[in-house]
């Protein structure tokens, strides 16, 4: 039997790398993004252009998913948005937009995917962030949404265990994605060109470099694959080049 995975935020960065890796390993991929997918989507897959922050579009996504497959062996909640500004300058509308895209979409997506996941004894992989456990200035809404995702992941693991559905979170550190590059505009890693800002950020990791989307995709695949991580559920896997291992006072 061929496994099927649904990946949100499939058109860019980590999501696109995950699409390629799952397809390379023989999975059928359902990709979801509000942007067009650049390049050819896997031939045996299905790409759905939709905005996961809107409940009615989420309903449509899973109607199409049910027409495409009878089961899901994995659901990767990867789509996210970021507002990079001081907390006191963040508007209610911006706060709500981040929560809708990053947290409510995960709750609703899992709820709608549940029948397919139950049939497939599937795995849920929630792409959180190191900002869930250690954060920085001017990114409070994003950090709060990603922290909430960790608590939600634990709740899912407990509730879905009787159905043989596992739920885990992955916490990427600095990864060279469009979101990271946009976030570097906050100025916390210097005010030079993008190369200088990336280099400044790289020096703060133990490994001395910024991660690549494919590296995070491999960690996602590990958590999604029941042969590799069958005894893991309710856990948070940090993939950050060692950034959170170092004392800030060092």
Q: What percent of the chain is predicted at pLDDT more than 90?
A: 76
Domain at 65, CATH number: 3.40.50.720
Whether 3 and 44 have beta carbons less than 8 Å apart is answered as no
Torsions phi, psi for 32 (to 5 deg): -130, 135
pTM: 0.92
Q: What is the pLDDT of residues 99-138, one digit of tens each?
A: 999 999 999 999 999 999 999 999 999 999 999 999 989 9
Backbone φ/ψ region at 72: left (φ over 0), alpha (ψ -120 to 50), beta: beta
Q: What is the pLDDT of residues 69-92, one digit of tens each?
A: 999 999 999 999 999 999 999 999
- Which range of residues forms the domain containing residue 100? 4-174+213-241
Q: Does residue 198 lie within any of the structural domains? A: no
Q: Which two tokens stand for residue 62?
A: 């899973």
Q: For the beta carbon of residue 187, count every other beta carbon within 10 angstroms.
A: 11
pLDDT at 181: 57
For the chain, the distance separating the N- and C-terminal CA atoms, rounded to the nearest angstrom, is: 51
Known catalytic residues are 142
Number of domains in the chain: 1
The C-alpha R_g of the chain, in whole angstroms, comes to 18
Counting every residue written for the chain, the total comes to 250
Q: Does residue 166 lie within any of the structural domains? A: yes
């Amino acid at each position: 039997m061929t496994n099927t995975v649904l990946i949100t935020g499939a058109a860019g960065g980590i999501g696109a790398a995950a699409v390629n890796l799952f397809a390379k390993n023989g999975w059928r991929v359902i990709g979801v993004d509000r942007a067009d997918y650049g390049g050819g989507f896997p031939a045996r897959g299905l790409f759905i252009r939709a905005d996961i922050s809107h409940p009615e579009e989420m309903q449509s996504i899973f109607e199409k998913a049910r027409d495409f497959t009878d089961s899901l062996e994995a659901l990767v909640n990867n789509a996210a948005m970021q507002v990079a500004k001081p907390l006191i300058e963040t508007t209610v509308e911006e706060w709500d937009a981040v929560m809708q895209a990053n947290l409510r979409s995960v709750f609703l997506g899992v709820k709608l995917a549940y029948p397919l996941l139950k049939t497939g004894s599937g795995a849920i992989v929630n792409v959180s962030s190191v900002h869930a456990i250690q954060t920085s200035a001017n990114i409070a809404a994003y950090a709060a949404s990603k922290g909430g995702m960790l608590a939600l992941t634990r709740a899912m693991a407990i509730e879905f265990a009787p159905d043989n559905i596992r739920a885990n979170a992955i916490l990427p550190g600095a990864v060279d994605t469009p979101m990271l590059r946009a976030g570097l505009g906050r100025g916390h890693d210097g005010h030079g060109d993008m190369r200088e800002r990336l280099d400044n950020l790289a020096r703060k990791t133990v490994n001395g470099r910024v991660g690549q989307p494919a590296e995070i995709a491999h960690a996602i695949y590990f958590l999604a694959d029941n042969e590799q991580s069958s005894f893991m559920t309710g856990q948070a896997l940090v993939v950050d080049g060692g950034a959170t291992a170092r004392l800030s006072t060092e």
